[in-house]
Structure 1
Amino acid sequence: MSKMRLVVVGNGMAGVRCVEEICELAPDKYEITIIGSEPHPNYNRILLSKVLQGDASMEEIILNPWQWYEERGIRLFAGQKAVRVDTDVKFVETQTGLRLEYDRLILATGSSAFIPQLPGIGKPGVIAFRSMEDCRKMVEAAGQYRRAVVIGGGLLGLEAARGLLNLGMEVTVIHNASYLMNRQLDRTSAEMLRKELESQGMQFLFGKLTERILGRKRAEGVQFSDGSKQRADLIVMAVGIRPNVELGKTSGIHVNRAFVVDDYLRTNVPDVYAVGECAEHEGIVYGLVAPLYEQGKVLARRLCDAETEPYRGSIPYAQLKVSGVDVYSVGRIDDGEGEIAYQSLDGIQGTYKKILTDRGKISGAILYGDISEGSKLLQHLKRGTDISAIARTFSSGGGDRGEDAAASMPESEIVCNCNSVSKAAIIRAVQEGGLKTVEEVKERTKASGSCGGCKPMVSAVLRLAQSGAVQATVEKEPAVCGCTELGHSALKAILEERRFARLDQAMAELGWRTPSGCTSCRPAILYYSRDGESLNKKRAEWDSVKLSYGTGGDFEQAAGIGLTLEHSLSGLRLPNPLTIAVDVGSKGRGGLLVKELGISLAPAGWEIYAGGNETIPVRQAQLIAVEPSLGTAVDLIVACCVWYGNSAYYGEPMWRWLDRIGLIGVRERLLDPEARVDLLLEKPAGASDPKIAIGAGWGEGHAGD
């Protein structure tokens, strides 16, 4: 079968990351062609500021060298600009007349620096800061001239200004707002940043609107709307970006600010997709690397016909990449968009922390001077963590530092958000590979290889791993039984991936020591197999939900709740028997605190308990939530059962599953409305449609509803 033709317009970080994923998932599915407007292989545009500041060379920021394309059979047309797309005949044409036909097309055209149309803007000496060529021009200008003006006091402008300082120029930053990085910082942190950058030699003019570029043959300065002027030999524009969407104007592709895409990065034209800074999802265009990589992963799986969650948008975060300055901002930080849950300022140490909430959940954060908690706070925002769950971790000293922060971080915590690298993955790489430097960690795991913002935490985890204070978790999982060396997680993963027709076939191919297995492994294989032998005959083994009722109270209402739960959970495959206690104002409580799950009417609403055990070891159930709505409370129980059935090991009781997953993690997922509905809509083999429990089945007159 011939390969499908995939053409990618754009050789930047988003498009090539998508191609990397495709090459991993289905290396033989596509004949891939990439068109790149710059005469270079794929490089890390985010690290151009490091090149300008002298912390990296042009060669060091190359992500995929020429050889990478050759090894994968990818045709790269570098230095070519796509000028037309014909979506009817399905071809892309470049400015040299090259015509490339496609079956599927990815638009990854990125964005360009926004250049305001001011009088004199086209004069020599006025440049943007967006590409390797821009970087080269700035280095050349610094060798000939002395005074520079950077227009724009945001991330890019400050990084460009710091680079020009390193090149020996006098630098003045012009900003139209009243304080620096006004989209990412508040006045307190911005003032700390201003003072630090002024101590490094940077100068600032605030509240200035540039009206024209001065000079005859070459730029000699700028004039502002108030009539004042600023002399300069070099003017760098850093006032924003504009998506490159020219290809959509004549091709019928829907363009708003960028190419409009759905949750699977599809445009309105069949077989045409968009990803990265040229893609607009739910009205938002992202200019940060992590969202672009998230989009690329979803699109790659879509193009390879692999199951994938849809792209639901990303949480914005930013880190200033200026030597000697640590600034991190995440989420919504505008005044009036959230309540301040925590704020601390240490003038001696030069640290500042501010955490904002919206309706009890973390909505944004600013860190200055000590950014070690940045990744942790980002994960809390992604999970929608309730502020009360982490309030005790705040400290007046601005939080844990360095290795202390790394040591307190759970092993599953993500350190590098751009590339989804966890603390555990870094520790394993360091200890198994004998890694010595952050660069070696980056080479092995990709951690800190994109925006570089996580480099301080990667360094801290590296030192922690080298100290021997922690060990990589490589403990071998106990075997299911004596018939095999496989543990439950390994057996579950194999059986969910492979489709065995019969039980004996599965045991034979998996190297079972006992051909017929035993009473421990046979039911486990059947449970983990989605299409296993005699699964329907074994259905009774999975129907193991029982109800327990308290004495007294409104037994009719309790029985109605129990009936709905039984119906909602009918046919659900559960790994271990469980009992749900229902208590509606009774005195006996129905064994509520020693049952696997429980629902109880209380003055504040419906209390949900989980994780009890009435046999050895006796365990008391823990409170999961208090819900004012009975319908939501029932939904929560059903969602918990679905999650337990899908992720627990065969024979694993709910209390042990809760210990393994983590009570806080269970609470966060079940209390997130979207995540809860996703669980309810999952349909394990043979189960009743769980949608019947979503707010349904409750008439008027029920207490707490």
Structure 2
Amino acid sequence: MKKLKLVVVGNGMAGIRTLEELLKLDPDLYEITVFGSEPYPNYNRILLSPVLTGEQTIQDIILNDTSWYEENGIALRLNCTVTQINRARKEVIADDGTVAKYDRLLLATGSNPFILPVPGKDLKGVITFRDIRDVNLMIDASTRLRHAVVIGGGLLGLEAANGLAVRGMKVCVVHLGSTLLDRQLDGAAARLLQKNLEGRGLEFLMDHQTEAIVGDDAGAVKAIRFKDGTELATDLVVMAVGIRPNTDLAERAGIYTERGIIVNDTLQTYDPSIYAVGECVSHRGMAYGLVAPLFEQAKVAANHLAFHGIGRYSGSTISTKLKVTGIDVFSAGDFTGNADTEAITLADPVGGVYKKLVIKDDKLIGACLYGDTVDGAWYFRLIREGKSIAELREHLMFGEGSIGDTGHSGENSIAGMPDSTEICGCNGVCKGTIVKAIREKGLFTVDEVRKHTKASSSCGSCTGLVEQILISCVGGAADIKPKSEKPLCPCTDYTHGEIRKAIKDQHLTSIPGAMRFLEWRTADGCSTCRPALNYYLMSTWPGEAKDDSQSRLINERAHANIQKDGTYSVVPRMWGGVTNPSELRRIADVADKYHVPMVKVTGGQRIDLLGIKKEDLPGVWKDLDMPSGHAYGKSLRTVKTCVGKEFCRYGTQDSTGMGIALEKDLVGMWSPHKVKLAVSGCPRNCAESGIKDIGIIAVDSGWELYVGGNGGIKTEVAQFFVKVQTPEEVLEYTGAFLQLYREEAFYLERTCHYLSRVGLDHAKARVIEDPANRAELYARLKFALSFEKDPWAERTEPTPARREFETLTA
């Protein structure tokens, strides 16, 4: 089939990001031509400042070298500026005479630096700070000249001033306003910043308006004159007073523009064949100059260029993260506030720390941080997700690290973790490796981090930590969204929730059928989507959807946990942590026979045989003659118990018997993520019920149930759920809650994260306050379990050892 023609005008970050997204969706749809006015391939404009200071080179910041264009069949025309669009003939004309036809045209013309319309603006030594050419001019000037004036106290102005100062020039920043970074900081933070920068050698003239730039007889800069008549001698003037969307080409073609090229929520202009993204765009009256909104636009534009037609861009919440000569500054959202908002502030001028949090209707809507920006990523996430901070308010100012001690949901501060901290346990990737890849390779998405480091590429449970590291490194440029808005994987644009709904509404019962209906982009899916689809199908249509063993993770396929050296660990099931001499003898015999290098008691009161070769696994399970403990699965793992009233002088109920009953009632249950339970015989809680997915604590009058706990790298304390009187009620309430979790949670979402998303009150309403619905949930669980018994773990006829066990524990 003949390919359509796509022409991209602009070789910057927005245009090429759109192509990257498009190539993921349909790499063979278009014959692509890219026009770039500069002599370089696509580079990271954000990293121009490190190039100016000498920390990096131009080659270090190239995002896509020329080989990338060649590999993807893209015709790249560098040093070539498009000067005309003939919309009637659907073609563009460049300054070198090149004519390129298009079926779809993408305008990514970016922005132009604003030049003050003052006398002398064209003198030699007056430059801007916008591209590599400008950086080269500044580097050259710093080798010959001594004095520089930077007009503009915004982001670009301070970065230019810092770079020139590092290069050895004496620099003065001239700003029209009374405070620096007046679009990113409030007055208090800006004054702290100015004082610190002055202490490092930069000079400032605030509230000064430039009237003219004065030249010498050779036509070079010699001074700058202000409105009050005073002059300041200088050899170099850098104008960094803002940017304007580059709409010249669009205007000449008759495309509707205002502050930028007007686009709708699909990034389409008034001409349906022409799309636009990036700094040249005006969307709902907003033009964005930061990279995060540009990447969001790119994804939507690519979706429509690929004729998928379901993406929508509704605007962006932005944040600013800046580091000038070692000073950390962060802002996000509405940090100024108004009469309808309230602000919490912390000011420590001596310590160089300032924080301002703006709250409206129990939601964080803005943050401004100076000096201590460790929690910037957390505040930004709270702003974007729009969740109530009522329970966090008391600790909000003291950061995310303070939340863990309160019993509320929170994560340890990523910025405070050492580089050696392991983030991805599946692949052994530490924080330092991820940070290095993000900074050196200019990464902005979790998918890119996975590609370069393998972090978050296996079970996915560390994805949240990877996202936090991205935000910590690149601030608002991190291309992430709340999980509820994210596609399941790059194979589809549908979210977990949308896929679950489609499987239920359309009665989809197979992975191929689901992929066909949802128009999967890849024929066989990937290691992320296949396990998720398999779980959603099995949990929605038990008895109808067939378990696809090849869509399970390696641990589930091998029925053992794979270890770092390629061997496996085997954990046989011991109901409630109780065993007997017969089982112990068999475990010892297996350890001898297969030369097991380590036999270890686990934290869940089971025995783990570590270091078993893959080829020995069938023999090991046969000789053990015990069911699997599912220590490898997204399923019920263990029910941990204490000895309870049978032996303990403090025990109030039979916690061991309750644990065994629970484990037998739930055995074989597959779930979105691993599930662990514990039963404690008294409030002393020796079984650690307070940090389990479901914890049961015996009291004199019955049992207290707690839900949503989680041990591990981010400990979550379980929340009180309900108090019941009988063991039968424990089974019913526990089963009903787990079935609700099975039906509503996203794949790889722990119970604590599920409850954080839907709210504890939602679970209480479905399980506690509605007895009929509770009974239905429990009945659905028991029905599903009748099909979900693991053939490796369960046998039709009990063995003699099983009969002995049943007799002992009856």
TM-score tier after normalising by the smaller chain length: 0.5 to 0.7
SS at match of 1:326: strand
* Contact 2:114–2:243 (8 Å) recurs in 1: yes
1:44-59 equivalences in 2 (<5 Å): 44-59=44-59
Separation in 1 of the partners of 2:469 and 2:233? 38
Separation in 1 of the partners of 2:442 and 2:515? 25
* Contact 1:8–1:35 (8 Å) recurs in 2: yes
Q: Which residue among 282, 285, 291 is the counterpart of 2:284?
A: 282
SS at match of 1:524: coil
SS at match of 2:369: strand
Q: 1:327: Cα distance to partner?
A: 0.2
* Contact 2:145–2:235 (8 Å) recurs in 1: yes
Separation in 2 of the partners of 1:167 and 1:2? 54
TM value normalised by structure 2:
0.57
1:357 is aligned to 2:359: yes
Aligned to 1:431: 428
Mark the CA change 1:668 to 1:165 in structure 2 (over 3 Å): closer, same or farther.
Answer: farther
Q: 1:28: Cα distance to partner?
A: 0.7
Aligned to 1:473: none
SS at match of 2:96: coil
Aligned to 1:90: 90
SS at match of 2:428: helix
* Contact 1:372–1:456 (8 Å) recurs in 2: no
1:612-623 equivalences in 2 (<5 Å): 615-617=729-731, 619=733
Mark the CA change 1:203 to 1:243 in structure 2 (over 3 Å): closer, same or farther.
Answer: same
SS at match of 1:42: coil
Aligned to 2:313: 311
* Contact 2:262–2:269 (8 Å) recurs in 1: yes
* Contact 2:185–2:331 (8 Å) recurs in 1: yes
Mark the CA change 1:357 to 1:169 in structure 2 (over 3 Å): closer, same or farther.
Answer: same
Q: 1:372: Cα distance to partner?
A: 1.7
Separation in 2 of the partners of 1:408 and 1:369? 26
1:496 is aligned to 2:498: no
* Contact 2:422–2:431 (8 Å) recurs in 1: no
Letter in 2 for 1:342: I
SS at match of 2:336: coil
* Contact 2:342–2:360 (8 Å) recurs in 1: no
Aligned to 1:110: 110
Letter in 2 for 1:358: K
1:477-556 equivalences in 2 (<5 Å): 496-499=514-517, 523-524=541-542
Aligned to 1:663: 755
Mark the CA change 1:178 to 1:135 in structure 2 (over 3 Å): closer, same or farther.
Answer: same
Mark the CA change 1:497 to 1:297 in structure 2 (over 3 Å): closer, same or farther.
Answer: same
* Contact 2:7–2:105 (8 Å) recurs in 1: yes
Q: 1:168: Cα distance to partner?
A: 0.4
* Contact 1:425–1:445 (8 Å) recurs in 2: no
Letter in 2 for 1:127: I
1:17 is aligned to 2:4: no
Q: Which residue among 244, 256, 259 is the counterpart of 1:257?
A: 259
SS at match of 1:24: helix
Aligned to 2:682: none
Letter in 2 for 1:356: V
Aligned to 2:379: 377
CA displacement 1:398-418 (0-9 Å, x = unmatched): 6649x99xx99659x999xxx
Aligned to 1:556: none
Aligned to 1:467: none
Q: What count of residue pairs does the alignment treat as equivalent?
A: 512
Separation in 1 of the partners of 2:251 and 2:170? 42
Mark the CA change 1:12 to 1:441 in structure 2 (over 3 Å): closer, same or farther.
Answer: closer
SS at match of 1:158: helix
278-287 or 318-327: bigger deviation: 318-327
Aligned to 1:146: 146
Q: 1:440: Cα distance to partner?
A: 3.3
Q: 1:438: Cα distance to partner?
A: 2.7
Separation in 2 of the partners of 1:437 and 1:612? 45
Q: 1:140: Cα distance to partner?
A: 0.7
Q: 1:156: Cα distance to partner?
A: 0.6
Mark the CA change 1:343 to 1:93 in structure 2 (over 3 Å): closer, same or farther.
Answer: same
Separation in 1 of the partners of 2:238 and 2:341? 37
Q: Which residue among 273, 290, 301 is the counterpart of 1:299?
A: 301
* Contact 1:429–1:441 (8 Å) recurs in 2: no
Separation in 1 of the partners of 2:200 and 2:148? 15
* Contact 1:221–1:230 (8 Å) recurs in 2: yes
Q: Which residue among 386, 389, 406 is the counterpart of 2:388?
A: 386
CA displacement 1:201-247 (0-9 Å, x = unmatched): 10001111111111231111111111111111000000000111111
CA displacement 1:275-294 (0-9 Å, x = unmatched): 00011110000010110001
Aligned to 2:62: 62
Letter in 2 for 1:248: A
Separation in 1 of the partners of 2:44 and 2:305? 24
1:248 is aligned to 2:285: no
CA displacement 1:372-404 (0-9 Å, x = unmatched): 2112212211111223143144245x6649x99
Mark the CA change 1:88 to 1:368 in structure 2 (over 3 Å): closer, same or farther.
Answer: same
SS at match of 2:366: strand
TM value normalised by structure 1:
0.65
CA displacement 1:35-70 (0-9 Å, x = unmatched): 001010000111111111222111111111111111
Aligned to 1:130: 130
Separation in 2 of the partners of 1:157 and 1:34? 31
Separation in 1 of the partners of 2:9 and 2:198? 42
Aligned-residue CA RMSD (Å): 4.3
Q: 1:25: Cα distance to partner?
A: 1.4
Aligned to 1:170: 170
Letter in 2 for 1:446: L
Letter in 2 for 1:48: L
Mark the CA change 1:54 to 1:126 in structure 2 (over 3 Å): closer, same or farther.
Answer: same
Separation in 2 of the partners of 1:321 and 1:256? 33
Letter in 2 for 1:6: L
Aligned to 1:600: none
Q: 1:302: Cα distance to partner?
A: 1.6
Aligned to 1:446: 443
Aligned to 1:191: 191
CA displacement 1:282-322 (0-9 Å, x = unmatched): 00000101100011011111211336441110012112232
CA displacement 1:511-541 (0-9 Å, x = unmatched): xxxxxxxx97893375799xxxxxxxxxxxx
Letter in 2 for 1:205: L
* Contact 2:61–2:442 (8 Å) recurs in 1: no
Letter in 2 for 1:147: H
Separation in 2 of the partners of 1:425 and 1:438? 12
* Contact 1:338–1:357 (8 Å) recurs in 2: no
Separation in 1 of the partners of 2:5 and 2:761? 40
Separation in 2 of the partners of 1:89 and 1:669? 60
1:237 is aligned to 2:255: no
Mark the CA change 1:31 to 1:399 in structure 2 (over 3 Å): closer, same or farther.
Answer: same
* Contact 2:83–2:94 (8 Å) recurs in 1: yes
Letter in 2 for 1:431: G
Separation in 2 of the partners of 1:668 and 1:292? 36
Mark the CA change 1:447 to 1:9 in structure 2 (over 3 Å): closer, same or farther.
Answer: closer
Letter in 2 for 1:388: A
Separation in 1 of the partners of 2:141 and 2:440? 34
Aligned to 1:323: 325
Q: 1:338: Cα distance to partner?
A: 5.8
Letter in 2 for 1:496: A
Q: Which runs of 5+ in 1 are unaligned?
A: 416-423, 461-487, 501-505, 507-518, 530-574, 576-592, 595-609, 623-643, 671-705
SS at match of 2:119: coil
* Contact 1:611–1:620 (8 Å) recurs in 2: no
Q: Which runs of 5+ in 2 are unaligned?
A: 416-420, 450-466, 476-503, 519-523, 525-536, 548-671, 673-703, 706-720, 763-810
Letter in 2 for 1:132: I
Aligned to 1:273: 275
SS at match of 1:83: strand
Mark the CA change 1:243 to 1:428 in structure 2 (over 3 Å): closer, same or farther.
Answer: farther
Mark the CA change 1:28 to 1:194 in structure 2 (over 3 Å): closer, same or farther.
Answer: same
* Contact 1:429–1:445 (8 Å) recurs in 2: no
1:343 is aligned to 2:331: no
SS at match of 2:17: helix
